[in-house]
Structure 1
Amino acid sequence: MASLSDPDRRGLVNEAGFVLFSKLIEYKQKVARAKASDIVKYAFNEAANYVYGINDAENHSAFNLVEKREAIVIAGRLHNLFRPLKADKKVLVGPKFRGSGLISNCVGDVLVEQEALYEIKSGDRKTRSVDYRQLAIYAALIFAETGGVVKNISVVNPRTGVIVSVPTEDFSKEVSGQSAVSLFHSLVEAFSANLISL
């Protein structure tokens, strides 16, 4: 989807699309048009709080028709991807990960049971290595908390329609030459290392 929105507001539109998706995935039935309008307003308000901060959100939460349409398309594409999975699996939007050592508590985008971890990147760019580093940190935090290894890590760009999914074991072997358990154990140790010298 080519963006017609102001590039300076694209981050807001992308975030509003994700917030809208996170609300829509909660509903079991089609949302009435009047309620949908309220949800779109809510999504832009929440996105403005996140992107611009609570103190400046009021100045940025208004949206135009182009921005509204783009956010709805982003939300719709994400909904179409994750809704079928929700029929027989637990789809968690905004999973919270307990921090470890230097890494603070953080929130991911989508976790489907312990099977797949998704990072949503809605920009007009290709997938970058930093996206997978972020997923590796989240996966290591899951490992630190549960001892389990998520099976796949994926970057989804609903704006471009690209999904890049990699089995976690393959990713681990490619980037470190180790199994996923060994890589995540090493990462957790690095997070928790006492780096302060006296």
Structure 2
Amino acid sequence: MKNRLITIPFAHDSMIATTIRRRPYVAIKPICEAAGLDWPYQRKRILRDDILSEDIVITTVMTPQGQKKMLFLPLEQLNGWLLRVNVKRVKPELRDTLHIYKRKCHHVLFMHFFGKTVRERKRVEKKQKYNLNLLSEHFNVIQHTWTTQIQPVLNKLESPVSDRLHDRFNECSALLSMLDRKTLRSKK
């Protein structure tokens, strides 16, 4: 595997992850060791599971102790495995640590891999709303100028342009209203 290993700090320890075919994977053995789980038993459980075993990746990685084989699960399957671990089967002094992993490690990993995407989407949505508001304000000023100053003059001159522009302003107003409603709905 040529994928770069990523060390993600978590609960006075760290988790190891990588991206394979643009999909985040998490090394399971370090989690087992940090949470006090029996690694050989958990490995067997994962390999026996018909869902978890489908997407595992076992690969050789370089560690300070040399090359080692490491089992990785896709991030989206991590909670499926971890939530099935029975806390009562762990030593009492390690139960709190296991609870922390069960509650928070998926979130920490998710934010590492996708948090930037979520923040970026929110930033883009905020900018789009700002731009829509700005466009609406400009349109309202132009429409007011049209209605109070330009259209009356064109009407006095009996210009055919007056009706066509009036229709265009109505269409633009309807379009802005539709965009504004769509933007408000997407925020919910």
TM-score (norm 2): 0.27
Using the size of structure 1 for normalisation, the TM-score is 0.26
By percentage of residues, which structure has more helix? 2
Higher Cα radius of gyration: 2
